[in-house]
């Protein structure tokens, strides 16, 4: 009996690997095109770090005219969650990320390199495991959990490296006859790689992001097929990324230390290894120290959070690009109107260590992103958000023509308003523009001029003598100055500053009185524009 007999006994029906090697023909792509993928386990939760990762791979595929595909890594069936695949696909779609190829729902995929769901690829892994078994490069291991425990305890007691390797790998050198007998007796087993590695030797690897790294060779006889017949991540990674012809693996840095195992697997299987880009984990400051953004503690770790808060997808993507390439910010300043896809993204410029996530900065980016949107765009997005998350706001926006005017205030000019960072702030920020939301009897907080009689005097004179809805902006402002002067205030701020003791205040204090009376707030966008959108009747009513 030889290895072939053992392989046939274990996987009697598995095909010869030549079948798959021929079935998946070489991709026909332009020179330099990158084939990359997003390969989540379907847990039903999309972490902001995952979005970061997909954004990077999709930028790389787009930039090179390549392919970004979706593969579902569901070999850990204990973690299966109903509807999780569709939910990931939809969450990513919300952020404008769609795949060129791969899984499209819970069951189906599109493309010539599928199935794209690992649980549907069992026979493929079996073929490659059989191929290794038949050459004696893999073997069935009958170690029970108790045996493995005992092994670990012994190693720990002797202060040795733990694991299943070298002399500790009890079933590594079992004869074919002994293995066959155990299988025939119904003993359970896994398939392990017979690692040719030597811990004392080093391997060198050049990571696209991390640069040169050095590790000891892998000498662990890792499991490639588990007791349930499904492959481990390591084995599936090698087989799938080979057959799907991935050229660039973009994945979390927690996998960097598996590089020796993965390169070894590619080598033993006779595959060409892809390039690897291990991206930094997204961190946040917690007091003085950095920590991972945690699914449990930080709501902003979940991608759905941004959708619920109404932080536009454009803002989130733009912020993530900011984290990825520090020159993005300058590019954006110089090219305010360009599409994100026009940015020359450089994967190797991603920082090596933990990317720091800062919500304040994210909202700041978002203010800028929103400031560049047209009133129509803002309206559409707010409206869509409100339909799902805020009925009251949705009702307020029913008069589209009026809402467009409100959103049009200080927009579309060279210095657009920057007071909105997310749609959940919109209702509060525009409520005074709606008569039924504006409580004219509320106690307003005035600024420097807060005496009731003085306020009345100012407002009264303004309506009677200076207010004319038909004035252009310059005339309107000149009239506010005239009003200030008539009431004994400085007509220019400059004048006031040169001799502050001479006046009770200046033109700005006067306009603040009008602003607060009209809107209930000390800070608003341009008052002239507000007056025009509110219209003559509302202005007079509120001021009276």
Q: Which residues bind ligand GLU (CB under 6 A)?
A: 39-41, 73, 237, 249, 251-252, 255
Residue of minimal Cβ distance to ligand GLU: 251
Contact 440, 510 (CB under 8 A): no
Nearer to ligand GLU, 118 or 307 (CB): 118
Distance CA 199, CA 283 (A): 32
**Pick 136 or 252: Cβ nearer ligand GLU:** 252
Q: How far is the CB of 72 from ligand GLU (least distance, A)?
A: 9
Give 50 or 366: the residue with its C-beta nearer to ligand GLU: 50
Prior bond of 115 cis (ω within 30°): yes
Distance in Å, CB of 251 to ligand GLU, minimum: 3
Mode of pairing for the β-strands spanning 202-207 and 211-216: antiparallel
Residue 252 C-beta: closest distance to ligand GLU, Å: 6
Q: How far is the CB of 240 from ligand GLU (least distance, A)?
A: 9
Least distance (Å) from ligand GLU to the CB of residue 169? 26
Q: Residue 286: helix, strand or coil by DSSP?
A: strand
Q: Which of 430, 418, 410, 458 is closest to 520 using CA atoms?
A: 430
Pairing of strands 223-225, 190-193: antiparallel
| Contact present, 488 and 503 (Cβ < 8 Å) | yes
Is the Cβ of residue 249 or residue 490 nearer to ligand GLU in the bound state? 249
d(CA 26, CA 80): 32
Closest CA to 454 of 525, 516, 519: 516
- In the complex with ligand GLU, the residue whose CB is nearer, 237 or 411, is 237
Closer residue to ligand GLU in complex, CB, 115/505: 115
Q: Do the strands 289-292 and 355-356 form a parallel or antiparallel pair, or are they unpaired? A: unpaired
Shortest distance (Å) from residue 513 CB to ligand GLU: 59
Using an 8 Å Cβ cutoff, are 323 and 249 in contact? no
State how far the Cα of 520 lies from the Cα of 543, in Å rounded to an integer: 11
- Please, which residue, 41 or 162, has the CB nearer to ligand GLU? 41
- Start-to-end C-alpha separation, the chain: 103
Radius of gyration of the chain (CA): 33
Nearer to ligand GLU, 57 or 524 (CB): 57
* Residue 488 neighbours by CB under 8 Å, 6+ apart: 503, 504
Name all contacts of 534-537 with Cβ < 8 Å and 24+ positions apart.
534/433, 535/469, 536/469
Q: How far is the CB of 271 from ligand GLU (least distance, A)?
A: 15
Least Å distance, CB 231 to ligand GLU, is: 12
């Amino acid at each position: 009996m030889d290895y072939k007999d053992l392989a046939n006994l274990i996987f009697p029906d598995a095909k010869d690997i030549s079948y798959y090697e021929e079935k998946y023909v070489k991709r026909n792509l332009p020179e330099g095109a990158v084939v990359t993928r997003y390969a989540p386990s379907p847990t039903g939760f999309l972490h902001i770090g995952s979005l970061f990762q997909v954004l990077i791979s999709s930028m790389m595929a787009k930039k090179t005219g390549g392919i970004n595909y979706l593969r579902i890594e569901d070999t850990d069936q204990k973690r299966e969650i109903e509807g999780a695949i569709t939910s990931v696909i939809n969450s990513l779609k919300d952020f404008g990320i769609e795949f060129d190829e791969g899984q499209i729902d819970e069951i189906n995929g599109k493309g010539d390199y599928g199935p794209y769901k690992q649980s549907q690829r069992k026979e493929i892994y079996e073929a490659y495991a059989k191929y290794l078994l038949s050459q004696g490069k893999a073997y069935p291991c009958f170690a029970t959990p108790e045996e493995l425990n005992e092994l670990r305890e012994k190693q720990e007691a002797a202060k040795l490296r733990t694991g299943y390797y070298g002399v500790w790998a009890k079933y590594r050198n079992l004869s074919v006859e002994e293995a066959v007998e155990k299988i025939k007796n119904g003993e359970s087993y896994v398939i392990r790689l017979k690692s040719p590695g030597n811990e004392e030797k080093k391997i060198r690897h050049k990571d696209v992001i991390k640069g040169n790294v050095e590790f000891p060779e892998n000498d662990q006889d890792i499991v490639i097929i588990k007791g349930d017949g499904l492959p481990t991540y390591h084995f599936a990674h090698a087989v799938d990324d080979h057959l799907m012809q991935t050229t660039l693996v973009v994945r979390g840095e927690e996998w960097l230390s598996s590089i020796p195992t993965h390169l070894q697997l590619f080598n033993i299987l006779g595959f060409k290894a892809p390039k690897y880009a291990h991206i930094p984990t997204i961190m946040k400051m917690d007091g003085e120290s950095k920590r991972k953004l945690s699914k449990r503690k930080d709501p902003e770790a979940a991608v759905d959070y941004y959708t619920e808060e109404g932080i536009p997808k454009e803002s989130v993507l733009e912020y993530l690009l900011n984290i990825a390439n520090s020159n993005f910010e300058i590019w954006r300043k110089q090219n305010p109107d360009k599409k994100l896809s026009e940015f020359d993204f450089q994967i190797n410029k991603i920082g090596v260590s933990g990317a720091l996530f800062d919500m304040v900065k994210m909202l700041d980016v978002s203010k800028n992103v929103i400031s560049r949107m047209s009133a129509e765009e803002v309206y559409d997005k707010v409206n869509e958000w409100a339909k799902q998350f805020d009925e009251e706001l949705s009702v307020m926006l029913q008069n589209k023509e009026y809402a467009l005017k409100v959103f049009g205030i200080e927009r579309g000019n060279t210095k657009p308003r920057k007071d909105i960072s997310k749609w959940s702030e919109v209702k509060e920020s525009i409520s005074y523009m709606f008569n039924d939301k504006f409580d004219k009897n509320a106690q307003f907080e005035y600024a420097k001029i807060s005496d009731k009689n003085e306020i009345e005097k100012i407002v009264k004179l303004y309506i009677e003598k200076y207010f004319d809805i038909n004035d252009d902006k310059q005339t309107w402002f000149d009239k506010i100055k005239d009003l200030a002067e008539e009431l004994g205030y400085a007509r220019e701020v400059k004048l006031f500053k040169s001799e502050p003791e001479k006046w009770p205040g200046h033109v700005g204090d006067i306009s603040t009185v009008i602003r607060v009376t009209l809107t209930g707030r000390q800070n608003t966008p341009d008052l002239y524009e507000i007056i025009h959108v509110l219209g003559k009747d509302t202005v007079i009513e509120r001021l009276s």
